[in-house]
Chains A and B, each alone.
Chain A
Amino acid sequence: MTDLSSTEPKAHRSLKVADARTKKRNAAEKRFRAYGIVAIAIGGLFLLALTYNILKAGLPAFTQYVVELEVTLTQDEFDAAESQMLKTAAYTDIFIGNFEANLAERGVAVPYDADAIERLLGKVGGDIRSYYRENLDDIGQPVTFQLQTSSRVEGYFKGRVNRDTIVDSRFLMGSDLDIVDALRDSGVLTSRFNWDFITGKDSGVDNPGGAGIGASAIGSLFMMLVVLFLSLPIGVAASIYLEEFAPKNRLTDLVEVNISNLAAVPSIVFGILGLSVFIQFAHLPQSAPLVGGLVLTLMTLPTIIISTRASLKSVPPSIRDAALGIGASKMQSVFHHVLPLAMPGILTGTIIGLAQALGETAPLLLIGMVGFVAREYPDGVVSGFMDPNSAMPAQIYTWAARADVGFYEKAWGGIIVLLIFLLLMNALAIFLRKKFERRW
């Protein structure tokens, strides 16, 4: 029989030796940490793979290949070309004539073939003509042009085709590649950063080399302005009312539930709403950044309201008590004390909402903000909220859907530009949060 009050000493156990229970707990903790690290590693790996793919496919879009050539166009040549039926073709002929002489002058030995040159530099006629029409004073003066090669030649340099896989077509013949190589080796044909891609507008379906994302970036910018100036005041006012002033009853409960539900509504639904309300009913112009901005405002509002309410809720009630306790009115306590403390959260929520809106494509397709050829705009710059335009994600979508493989890299390049904008916006959100937090 065991005696409870036995004086037998309890076996001494060192703290340095873990007992079975402790070992089990420690092992479980180690396992959990390992799971966490594995999860993060997997996430990081995916991110890395994604970044690598995007950069690999998209970076070529930022390079273009140009031929440098000095041209002196005489007044007679200009007048003659302008009087022709096919004006750009006339300029192309002038250029090709000059080109041969110029190459000989520079001592570049190229197996010369006028048809091949025309294929390699398909757009030169148009480029030269539009230059002289804008700079009439330069007629008769020597002008150095950097003329873009056709997208097929770019495809050769960027590895889309090589001598074995090339299929002869009216765009590029296998035999043309000898000329291309010779031009490059002699330094006449060089590569440079593709500013046209950053600043330019969309191009025709057969000219991926001339496509740029600039015009649609401006469209996105106009839309974001509309979204910012509508959704921030409306969203913040709605949240302050709901959070601080509204009586708690069935009606406000209903409003609250519906705001949460709106945040989960597919964006295409907002697009069809915008189509029927803003375009068909209110007769706002199709494809206008104003309409796009209105639709995206509807989409962004729930996000802003939810995050604003969350940050208002997180302000300690003692601050409200303190203000009310010395005779501040409800509104003074909110605007003088609660709102400044909630500001970092509100701004972060707003910028995240804007970033979401910036990347949104589906609703824009429905209101006609899909990529277009900006031929109607000689200057190429889209000038306002009412002018038809595209937006970056819609432009990317358009490029991805085009048949010419040259647009493939444009789509990826566009994604790089879009991601840079998103990163900048997130950086701004972090900066603002830090700045407002430091005030107290």
Chain B
Amino acid sequence: MTDYKISAKGVQVYYGDTHAIKDVDVDIEDKTVTAFIGPSGCGKSTFLRTLNRMNDTIDICRVQGDIRIDGEDIYDSAVDPVQLRAKVGMVFQKPNPFPKSIYDNVAYGPKIHGLARNKAELDEIVESSLRKAALWTEAKDRLNAPGTGLSGGQQQRLCIARAIATAPEVLLMDEPCSALDPIATAQVEELIDELRQSFSVVIVTHSMQQAARVSQKTAFFHLGNLVEYGETDKIFTNPEDPRTESYISGRIG
């Protein structure tokens, strides 16, 4: 049996009376890009947010089932969601840099988690994170400029840099390219591919081409069910479930 990074069994999510995620089992491997695809409202983003307990912030949301990261139940009452989120970083659909300088955006996570002992170490973390996010060459001369003054694509890469600065082990990305133009999208996709060397990346996307380009594993969600999960190549070329095939060929969605 392989050691999975994330292992979810029998996950149910309810929003009030709505049953948003129905009995989903998924095992996610380390150092792999896993894509969640499916039509709008199918629950893929909801499921993604259960993986770092961002759903805790929604009062009416209830999560049942068993989700383990490195074998630890993340919904155990002893688990501090704040520590969990430092380990499982997240990049959101809309770029949401803090209204602070570029430097402060990246340095904020390491600061609150005490990852740097002094200014020099912090500088180093900021530089390496911006380098990994392919933003260093554009940003190095304007580290004190506001992060909100960057273009949309740059802002999203800044958010990625901010997420990886806290040295997470898993990176969750919720449609990170939906607000970006094709060139910025290509840059972010290239970036995701590089991030795979260090993290396990889970990405929610509406673009099947994107899923095919960046991911090794793909999961297809439909109406709250996980319909099919497997190697990306197989899902896109030879899906087992007729619903997957209809979605991929553009008949449902």
Contacts and interface: CB of A to CB of B under 8 A. Distances in A.
Answer yes or no: do A and B interact: yes
A327 B52 CA distance: 10
B222 interface: no
A327 B96 contact: no
A341 interface: yes
A321 B59 CA distance: 15
A328 B96 CA distance: 15
A326 B109 CA distance: 6
Contacts of A336: 108, 112
Contacts of A324: 54, 57, 85
Interface string A322-350: 11111111001000110001000000000
A248 interface: yes
Nearest to B96: A318
A440 B144 CA distance: 11
A327 B98 contact: no
B239 interface: no
Interface in A336-381: 336-337, 341
A322 B96 contact: yes
Which of A324, A327, A328, A336 has the most B CB atoms < 10 Å from its CB?
A: A327
B234 to A, nearest CB: 32
A440 B85 contact: no
A247 B89 CA distance: 26
Nearest to A322: B96
A440 B54 contact: no
Interface stretch (B17-25, B65-73, B158-166, B199-207): B158-166
Contacts, number: 70
Interface of A is mostly: helix
A327 B59 contact: no
A326 B59 contact: no
Given A322-B97, A325-B163, A326-B85, A440 B146 contact: yes
Contacts of B52: 325
A319 interface: yes
Interface string B38-68: 0000000000000010100101000000000
Interface residues of B, number: 31
Contacts of B94: 318
A185 B54 CA distance: 85
B52 to A, nearest CB: 7
A323 B97 CA distance: 9
A332 B89 CA distance: 17
B112 A328 contact: yes
A332 B148 CA distance: 20
Interface residues of A, number: 21
Interface in B81-112: 82-87, 89-92, 94, 96-100, 108-109, 112
Interface in B134-177: 146, 148, 159, 162-163, 165-166
A332 B86 CA distance: 13
A440 B112 CA distance: 21
A344 to B, nearest CB: 12
A323 B89 CA distance: 11
A327 B99 contact: no
B251 interface: no
B119 interface: no
Contact of A325 (B90, B97, B112): B90
Contacts of B117: none
A339 B89 CA distance: 23
A327 B113 contact: yes
Given A319-B98, A321-B96, A440-B146, A326 B54 contact: no
A184 interface: no
A324 B83 CA distance: 10
Contact of A247 (B59, B108, B109, B166): B59
Nearest to B89: A326
A248 B54 contact: no
A320 interface: yes
Contact of A328 (B54, B82, B100, B163): B82
Contacts of A319: 96, 98-99
A427 B248 CA distance: 61
Contacts of B54: 321, 324-325
Contacts of A323: 98, 108
Given A318-B96, A322-B97, A322-B98, A327 B146 contact: no
Contacts of B162: 322, 326
A327 B100 contact: no
Given A325-B52, A327-B109, A440 B163 contact: no
Contacts of B96: 316, 318-319, 321-322
A320 B57 contact: yes
A325 B164 CA distance: 11
Contacts of A316: 96
A411 B113 CA distance: 61
B112 to A, nearest CB: 6
Contacts of A318: 92, 94, 96
14 contacts: A248-B59, A319-B98, A323-B98, A324-B54, A326-B89, A326-B108, A326-B166, A327-B83, A327-B85, A327-B86, A336-B112, A337-B98, A439-B99, A440-B148
| Chain A to chain B: the 10 pairs with minimum beta-carbon distance, closest first | A327-B86, A440-B99, A325-B90, A318-B96, A326-B109, A327-B85, A322-B96, A329-B82, A326-B166, A327-B82
Interface of B: 52, 54, 57, 59, 82-87, 89-92, 94, 96-100, 108-109, 112-113, 146, 148, 159, 162-163, 165-166
